[in-house]
Amino acid sequence: MNELIQLLPKAELHMHIEGSLEPELMFKLAARNGIDLPYKSVDELRAQYDFNNLQEFLDIYYQGCAVLQTEQDFYDLAWAYLEKAKQDHVVHTEIFYDPQSHTDRGIPFEVAINGLYRAFDDAQEKLGISFHIIACFLRHLPEQDALDLYPEILKHQDKILGIGLDSSELGHPPEKYQQVFAQAKKDGFKVVAHAGEEGPADYVKQAIDLLQVDRIDHGNRCLDDDILTAQIAHKGIALTVCPLSNLKLKVVEDLQDHPIKQMLKKGLMATINSDDPAYFGGYINDNFYQLAAAVDLSDDDIFTLVENSFKASFLPDSIKEIHLKALNSFG
Ligand code: HPA
Ligand code: ZN
């Protein structure tokens, strides 16, 4: 089972690059930039990674971003993730980053996007991993902040394929972001949104009906609404599911309670992803290994989930076909 997971080439569609900042790199960048961290050691920092909900995680995640100062810092962050991705046989990745968590600290917009893009562009050649970058708006901030930032994103459309929506979900429904998402859609961006992680099924419905998303990030809570679930399955809107994140943020009490099998049974195009691997205890293959053991995934289930990762990607159809064919040679 674990050999199959390791063997299969796969795509990752839900990974926040800031959430791949390992404590060791955080300390290294803090030293390089003369920043004092409120922790004495890597172990002391890791001991904080015990969360009761999304907000407790986000508070620590945004604090960690403070060590990212220069273009090289963003390059090093991305490269560290890419080496892990390579080990896990990821051949295509669509990563999120949070521009506002950097511009709001006075880091110019170009610094993050140029550092990230350069690393992913190098990886295409050196590691054979293709990529897309998705810039997420922080939903706890007013829509006006997103509208103010949007021209910068548009200016870098050659590097940014899509727009996303993340951060604190409860109390910040998708309907709050209709204007900026409508504009992004008009300008040809792909659009995705986190919905139904902690928020209700209605937030998933809003993301689909009001933001016209191309994919739903998480989406677990859609299962509370049978009609909505059937509609999502019928439309083929993919869910980027993150099992270890769901466990660490108490979206599920136990990995054995994870609804992945139910999702597949209902015809949902679910995919497996790592979300914030440095904080949640594992990269994409760890997510597969632990989930497979907890809910007893069959080889067919694993194959379907990996196949879905390419089908749900934003790659052109001709490239999807090549990946799916390569995958079938293992089937
Ligand atoms: N949920 C919402 N916002 C986030 C997450 C997440 O899991 N990770 C980083 N930003
Ligand atoms: Zn996420």
> Quick check: 331 pLDDT over 80?
no
Structural tokens at position 57: 């995680």
Backbone angles phi and psi of 242, in degrees to 5: -130, 90
CA 235 to mean position of chain CA atoms: 22
76 C-beta closer than 6 A to ligand 1:
no
Active site residues: 197
pLDDT tens digit sequence for 198-220: 999 999 999 999 999 999 999 99
Q: Tell me the residue ranges of DSSP E strands in 59-182.
A: 90-97, 130-138, 162-166
For position 87, what pLDDT does the model report?
98
> Quick check: 141 pLDDT over 90?
yes
In the chain, count of helices (H) and strands (E)?
17, 8
Structural tokens at position 88: 């896990």
- What secondary structure letter does DSSP report for 123? H
> Quick check: 330 pLDDT over 90?
no
Could you tell me the pTM of the whole model? Answer: 0.98
* Residue 166 CA, closest ligand 1 atom number: 3
Distance from the CA of 231 to the center of ligand 2, in angstroms? Answer: 23
DSSP 3-state helix, strand, coil percentages of the chain (rounded to 5)? Answer: 55, 15, 30
Q: For the chain, what is the radius of gyration of the CA atoms?
A: 19
Residue 312 neighbours by CB under 8 Å, 6+ apart: 11, 13, 215, 238, 240, 269, 271
Give the mean pLDDT of 108-137.
99
Give the mean pLDDT of 238-258.
98
Distance from the CA of 329 to the center of ligand 2, in angstroms? Answer: 31
174 C-beta closer than 6 A to ligand 1:
no
CA-to-CA distance for 295 and 286, rounded, in angstroms?
A: 14
State percent of the chain over pLDDT 90. Answer: 99
- What secondary structure letter does DSSP report for 253? S
For position 184, what pLDDT does the model report?
99
167 C-beta closer than 6 A to ligand 1:
yes
Helix 299-311 to helix 284-295 angle (10° resolution) is 140
Residue 110 neighbours by CB under 8 Å, 6+ apart: 71
Residue pointed to by tokens 């100062």: 69
> Quick check: 180 pLDDT over 90?
yes
Give the mean pLDDT of 235-259.
98
Distance from the CA of 48 to the center of ligand 1, in angstroms? Answer: 17
* Residue 197 CA, closest ligand 1 atom number: 1
pLDDT tens digit sequence for 2-60: 999 999 999 999 999 999 999 999 999 999 999 999 999 999 999 999 999 999 999 99
176 C-beta closer than 6 A to ligand 1:
no
State percent of the chain over pLDDT 70. Answer: 100
For position 156, what pLDDT does the model report?
98
For position 41, what pLDDT does the model report?
97
CA-to-CA distance for 276 and 82, rounded, in angstroms?
A: 14
* Test site for ligand 1: of 81, 217, 275, 279, most ligand atoms within 8 A of the Cβ: 275
pLDDT tens digit sequence for 84-104: 999 999 999 999 999 999 999
For position 1, what pLDDT does the model report?
79
Query: What is the layout of strands, in order, in the sheet containing 270-272?
Result: 10-16, 90-97, 130-138, 162-166, 190-195, 215-218, 238-241, 270-272
Distance from the CA of 58 to the center of ligand 1, in angstroms? Answer: 7
Mean per-residue pLDDT over the chain, rounded = 98
Closest CA to 219 of 200, 234, 247, 191: 200
Give the mean pLDDT of 298-322.
98
